[in-house]
DNA sequence: TTGTAGGCGTTATCAA
DNA sequence: TTGATAACGCCTACAA
């Protein structure tokens, strides 16, 4: 048995008042008398009234929905981000709808279109690996729908970026390896198309330069950064002459895959090769030796991005904030402690 | 500059036809002549028309939104599930909105209410640890809004469950330990309130019974199943006299935390204590020795649950399907191979 | 403090 | 094949 939806009209009729008063009461308009207000709430409860968001949205032209577009959902980092977004959004009465670009530009374009047609109030985006430009977000900019990029960002004068200082983090990671005595440091990363990879590469180079170590193209190993790709990278490393003595990897998963493979080949970590990863994924404290890595606070990234977006939506002055840079830090564990070993 | 939204009226006016015809054309109603149809589409494109979902929903009383309520977002398993849900939903033109119960009953109730008020077309739920009953989903059942539970389920005659056979999986895990020669097998799990834990416990007991090993209450270690809780469990295990020779853990994270702590205390795995986990989380292949575990296909769970829900929504006969049980399997790695070592 | 009435953008019914 | 029109449920000037 499907019961019919109760509307404010039904309540009004039952109480012999106008629907306007009901609407006002339900929206906590202080102008309604305490008494009527109570009668209305009681009746609403009793009759099982529920607000029709569509009718409201249709009028108010707002949706209370935040769109989220991410490359992939199934990484520890990204779920932490989403968790942060959800928490903040929910506490502010926003819902989130999520879609994945699967690292593909065209899927990202399609997702953006869907979000646009769903009239999200705002958008949180981490760009696909594959994305060449951000023209597909123009419709949002044109309509003043706030778009915030996080982690994988692109500069745009009408949007804010939330991320960490990847260059500095990479610089410190590399510097740490150098200070531990490494001279031949390999950097495993993805094709440097996105900021996260170019910046990390830049930080790596900077640290080398600053310590007068010559940058060698062949020490940059390009990979998809999955755990299995780490094993493949290990192959390459094992063929290098002379053997590298340090590896800085752009992500923990890959670092761990690489370490496991190298250990299987008899390499001692950190004595023969020291390792630093990126993200501070839970695996970092499982692999042996535990992985030195850059703590990248996913939950906070998500929470801050969402908070910022909602502030925009609530009409907070759009300080021309370009970027919000969260703190990251190098967490030193045993995988890099050459000196102590 | 905010451009005004283009409506079907604007298109109609421009082309000197009625809005009804425009609506029909836009919805691919074959009754519209090819010629007008083309004119309408061209005009729509040119004018930047976009469908107003709210107006449509208001009329059609459908939202094309699927609600998802999960305990926590930040685990590998759950992100795989979400990924599966998103994929299927998206391909069928549904959006998903997600909320977390943070394992709390009251938050789950609130979430359910929000979902209800958002008029989701259907709901996918994995129950909070804390949830005592599922009365908060009654409003959905009453209105024939399909609700599908996955992983953490509860029986209800108007909903379907998607999960694996936890009891059997646990039975096989335990049996495997026994066959490897274990006689004193500890089971680390959460307070058995949810099916996943009671069933695994039952499977554990069954295997013991079948092999004439007496079940001992003190071998069941209750924990929150986080990585750090694994370390705490290790403490307890180390104090047991005599030392257990096998551990079956209800989740990989915790298993790994426990293994690491035991190793630090000088215990050899699997020689002294063999381990089996649950989930086949990526850490399972990182910890040393690699963890034997039950493969729990998160992506598929999500995809199947979503597919099933959408089939309901599209009016597929609601075969009185009680449960959909997906295959799981024991993946044997070195953490349990006592005999070979 | 409350009521009246119009409109948000669609779709469906009926008529032409 | 197309058009006129009435809902869908809510909010908000404006009036009382």
Q: For chain A, say whether B54 makes contact (Cβ under 8 Å).
A: yes
Beta bridge partners of B99: B69
- B236 pLDDT higher than 90: yes
Give the nearest chain B residue to A77 (CA atoms).
B74
pLDDT tens digits, one per residue of A250-280: 999 999 999 999 999 999 999 999 999 999 9
Look at residue B319 in the predicted model and tell me its pLDDT: 59
B136 within 8 A of B114, measured Cβ to Cβ: no
Q: Band of the pLDDT at A143, cuts 50, 70, 90? A: confident
pLDDT tens digits, one per residue of B289-310: 999 999 999 999 999 999 999 9
- With beta carbons under 8 A apart, name residues in chain B contacting A80: 74
How far is the C-alpha of A290 from the C-alpha of A332, rounded, in Å? 9
How far is the C-alpha of B314 from the C-alpha of A221, rounded, in Å? 49
Dihedral-angle region of residue A215 (phi above 0 means left; psi in -120 to 50 means alpha; beta otherwise): beta
A292 vs B141, more confident: A292
Q: For chain A, say whether B143 makes contact (Cβ under 8 Å).
A: yes
- A333 pLDDT higher than 60: yes
A111 within 8 A of A332, measured Cβ to Cβ: no
Give the nearest chain A residue to B115 (CA atoms).
A95
Taking the C1' atom of every nucleotide in all shown strands and the CA of A29, the nearest one is C1
Q: For chain A, say whether B144 makes contact (Cβ under 8 Å).
A: yes
Cβ-proximal residues to B212 (8 Å cutoff; 6+ apart), any chain: none
* Beta-carbon separation of B100 and A78 below 8 A: no
Indicate the angle between helix axes B166-179 and B195-210, nearest 10 degrees.
Answer: 40
How far is the C-alpha of B185 from the C-alpha of B307, rounded, in Å? 39
Cβ-in-10-Å burial (0-12, 13-18, 19+) of A130 comes to: middle
B13 within 8 A of B4, measured Cβ to Cβ: no
DSSP letter string over B273-341?
Answer: SEEE-SB--GGGGTSSSPPBEEE--HHHHHHHHHHHHHHHHTT-------EEEEP-EEE--GGG-TTT-
Q: For chain B, say whether A189 makes contact (Cβ under 8 Å).
A: no
pLDDT tens digits, one per residue of A211-222: 999 999 999 999
Look at residue A341 in the predicted model and tell me its pLDDT: 58
Handedness of CA B133, B137, B142, B144 (dihedral sign): negative
B216 vs B159, more confident: B216
- Structural domains of chain B ordered from first start: 8-51 (1.10.260.40), 62-164+298-326 (3.40.50.2300), 166-296+330-336 (3.40.50.2300)
Share of chain A above pLDDT 90, in %: 76
d(CA B23, C1' C2) / Å:
38
E strand spans, B59-126? 65-70, 95-100, 122-125
- Please state whether strand D lies within 7 Å of residue B21 at its CB atom: yes
Report, in ranges, which bases of strand C sit under 7 Å from a protein C-beta: 1-5, 7-13
- Please state whether strand D lies within 7 Å of residue B57 at its CB atom: no
d(CA A118, C1' C6) / Å:
26
Residue nearest to nucleotide C13 (CA to C1'): B20
- A31 pLDDT higher than 70: yes
- A1 pLDDT higher than 50: no
pLDDT tens digits, one per residue of A302-313: 999 999 999 888
- HSE (CB half, 13 Å, CA atoms) of B324? 18
Secondary structure (3-state) at A249: strand
Secondary structure (3-state) at B249: strand
Taking the C1' atom of every nucleotide in all shown strands and the CA of A21, the nearest one is C2
Share of chain B above pLDDT 70, in %: 97
Secondary structure (3-state) at B238: helix
Look at residue B241 in the predicted model and tell me its pLDDT: 93
- Which DSSP category does A292 fall into? B
Phi, psi of B2 (to 5 degrees): -85, 120
Look at residue B1 in the predicted model and tell me its pLDDT: 39
A189 within 8 A of A129, measured Cβ to Cβ: no
**Mean predicted lDDT score pLDDT of chain A:** 92
Give the nearest chain A residue to B282 (CA atoms).
A283
Q: Band of the pLDDT at B167, cuts 50, 70, 90? A: very high
A173 within 8 A of A149, measured Cβ to Cβ: no
- Please state whether strand C lies within 7 Å of residue B9 at its CB atom: yes
Which of A52, A82, A286 is the closest to B73 by Cβ? A82
The number of residues making up chain A comes to 341
- Please state whether strand D lies within 7 Å of residue B38 at its CB atom: no
Select, from the ranges A310-324, B154-168, B206-220, the one with the highest average predicted confidence (pLDDT): B206-220
How far is the C-alpha of B65 from the C-alpha of B115, rounded, in Å? 10
- Please state whether strand D lies within 7 Å of residue B18 at its CB atom: yes
How many CB pairs below 8 Å do chains A and B form together? 131
- B341 pLDDT higher than 80: no
Report, in ranges, which bases of strand D sit under 7 Å from a protein C-beta: 1-5, 7-13
Q: Band of the pLDDT at A203, cuts 50, 70, 90? A: very high
- With beta carbons under 8 A apart, name residues in chain A contacting B118: 53, 95
- Please state whether strand D lies within 7 Å of residue A324 at its CB atom: no
Q: Band of the pLDDT at A322, cuts 50, 70, 90? A: confident
Mean pLDDT of the A51-62 span: 88
Look at residue A208 in the predicted model and tell me its pLDDT: 98
- Record the pTM: 0.88
- B177 pLDDT higher than 80: yes
Tell me the three-class secondary structure of B166-221, residue by residue.
Answer: HHHHHHHHHHHHHHCCCCCEEEEECCCCCHHHHHHHHHHHHHHHHCCCCCCHHHEE
* Beta-carbon separation of B79 and A80 below 8 A: no
Of the given ranges (A66-70, B112-116, B147-151), which has the lowest mean pLDDT? B112-116
Look at residue A5 in the predicted model and tell me its pLDDT: 83
Phi, psi of A208 (to 5 degrees): -60, -50
A127 within 8 A of A102, measured Cβ to Cβ: no
Q: For chain A, say whether B18 makes contact (Cβ under 8 Å).
A: no
pLDDT tens digits, one per residue of A64-119: 889 999 999 878 899 999 999 999 998 888 888 889 999 999 999 999 988 888 88
* Beta-carbon separation of B98 and A118 below 8 A: no
Q: For chain A, say whether B33 makes contact (Cβ under 8 Å).
A: no
Cβ-proximal residues to B317 (8 Å cutoff; 6+ apart), any chain: none
- Please state whether strand C lies within 7 Å of residue A57 at its CB atom: no
How far is the C-alpha of A125 from the C-alpha of A127, rounded, in Å? 6
Cβ-proximal residues to B285 (8 Å cutoff; 6+ apart), any chain: A227, A260, B291, B333
A124 within 8 A of A150, measured Cβ to Cβ: yes
B252 within 8 A of B280, measured Cβ to Cβ: yes
Q: b or e along B93-106 (b: 16 or more beta carbons within 10 Å of the residue's beta carbon)?
A: ebbbbbbbbbbbbe
Residue nearest to nucleotide C3 (CA to C1'): A18
Q: For chain B, say whether A15 makes contact (Cβ under 8 Å).
A: no
CA-only gyration radius of chain A, Å: 26
Q: For chain A, say whether B119 makes contact (Cβ under 8 Å).
A: yes
- B320 pLDDT higher than 70: no
A145 within 8 A of A123, measured Cβ to Cβ: yes
How far is the C-alpha of A257 from the C-alpha of B282, rounded, in Å? 10
Look at residue A338 in the predicted model and tell me its pLDDT: 87
Residue that is written with structure tokens 């989130």 in the block: A96
Which of A51, A98, A117 is the closest to B86 by Cβ? A98
How far is the C-alpha of A336 from the C-alpha of A271, rounded, in Å? 8
Nearest CA-CA partner of A5 in B307, B61, B188: B61
Which of A4, A5, A44, A54 to mutate to probe the B interface, most B CBs <10 Å?
A54
């Amino acid at each position: 048995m499907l019961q019919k939806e109760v509307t404010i009209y039904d309540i009004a009729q039952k109480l012999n008042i106008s629907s306007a008063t009901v609407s006002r009461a339900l929206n906590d308009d202080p102008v309604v008398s305490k008494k009527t207000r109570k009668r209305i709430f009681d009746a609403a409860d009793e009759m099982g009234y529920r607000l029709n968001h569509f009718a409201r949205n249709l009028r108010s032209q707002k949706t209370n929905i935040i769109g989220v577009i991410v490359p992939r959902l199934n990484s520890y980092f990204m779920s932490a981000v989403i968790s942060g977004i959800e928490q903040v959004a929910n506490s502010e009465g926003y819902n989130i709808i999520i879609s994945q670009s699967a690292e593909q530009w065209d899927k990202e374009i399609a997702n953006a279109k869907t979000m646009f047609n769903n009239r999200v109030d705002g958008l949180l985006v981490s760009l696909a690996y594959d994305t060449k430009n951000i023209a597909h977000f123009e419709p949002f900019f044109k309509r003043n729908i706030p778009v915030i990029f996080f982690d994988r960002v692109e500069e745009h004068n009408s949007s804010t970026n939330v991320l960490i200082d990847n260059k500095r983090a990479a610089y410190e990671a590399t510097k740490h390896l150098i200070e531990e005595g490494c001279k031949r440091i390999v950097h495993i990363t993805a094709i440097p198309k996105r900021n996260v990879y170019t910046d990390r590469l830049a930080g790596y180079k900077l640290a080398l330069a600053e310590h007068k170590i010559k940058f060698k193209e062949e020490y940059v190993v390009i990979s998809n950064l999955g755990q299995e790709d780490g094993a493949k990278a290990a192959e390459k490393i094992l063929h290098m002459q002379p053997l590298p003595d340090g590896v800085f990897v752009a992500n923990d998963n890959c670092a761990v895959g690489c370490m496991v493979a190298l250990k299987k080949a008899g390499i001692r970590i950190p004595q023969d090769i020291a390792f630093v990863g990126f993200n501070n994924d839970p695996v970092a404290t499982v692999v042996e030796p535990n992985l030195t890595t850059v703590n990248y606070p996913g939950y906070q990234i998500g929470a801050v991005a969402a908070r910022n977006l909602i502030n925009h939506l609530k009409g907070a002055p759009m300080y021309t904030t370009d970027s919000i840079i969260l703190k990251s830090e190098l967490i030193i564990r045993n995988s890099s402690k050459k000196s102590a070993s």
